[in-house]
Amino acid sequence: MFRKIWKAMSEEKKNESGFEQPSTEALAEVKMVTINTEEFEDFKAQAAKGIEYLDRLQRLAAEFENFKKRAARERQDAIRFANESLLGRLIPVLDNFEMALAAANQASENSTDSLKTGVEMIAGQFKNVIIEAGLEEIDAAGKPFDPNLHEAVSQQETADIPEGHVLLQLRKGYKLKERLIRPATVIVSKTPTA
């Protein structure tokens, strides 16, 4: 009778959980792992180190993301404000032009020399600012024509200058640190036809 009750209870448990209870033979096959306290503490320390390394890695990843965002923001600011220094040096030149124009409006015919001197000073000041910023004039007159630096608008016959050389510079050209900003506009010489 006891066996029948046990069997009925086993079937009931099986039906409730949906799984069979492991047999005693299956339980005998399961091996227990035993470790001593020292090994357990070692595993525990290694797990703590692993957690610490993971935490460091996550912090480094967050710092790197912040660095990328900050670098992108600084790059955008550098682009937006790249000309700030140059413009700061040009403002006094603009002020002087405005003062010269105001003086020209009030000037008499006798004061044109002082106006001319003032405008020459402003032109010199402006030229110094752009030279300090790295702008270089292209000196083209009398030099061989270079399509990389010069823009020819016409040719003119002359016996004074060899053919293919710049006879006359109509407008100055400029370079900024070896990069062409504007080519010099020139007239190129050619040998006269007989």
pLDDT > 90 fraction of the chain, expressed in percent and rounded: 32
Domain enclosing residue 111, as ranges: 90-133
Q: Does the residue 73 lie in any domain?
A: yes
Q: Does residue 104 or residue 168 have the better pLDDT?
A: 168
pLDDT greater than 60 at residue 148: yes
Q: Pairing state of beta strands 184-190 and 166-171?
A: antiparallel
Q: Does the residue 110 lie in any domain?
A: yes
Q: Does the residue 83 lie in any domain?
A: no
| Same domain (yes/no): 170, 148 | yes
Q: What 8-state DSSP symbol labels residue 191?
A: P
Mean pLDDT of 25-48: 78
Distance CA(155)–CA(167), nearest Å, equals: 8
| Same domain (yes/no): 191, 152 | yes
Measured in whole angstroms, how far is the alpha carbon of residue 59 from the centre of its chain? 26
pLDDT on residue 30: 62
Q: Does the residue 164 lie in any domain?
A: yes
| Same domain (yes/no): 7, 63 | yes
Cβ count within 10 A of residue 155? 14
pLDDT tens digits for 42-81?
Answer: 888 999 999 999 999 999 999 999 999 999 999 988 877 7
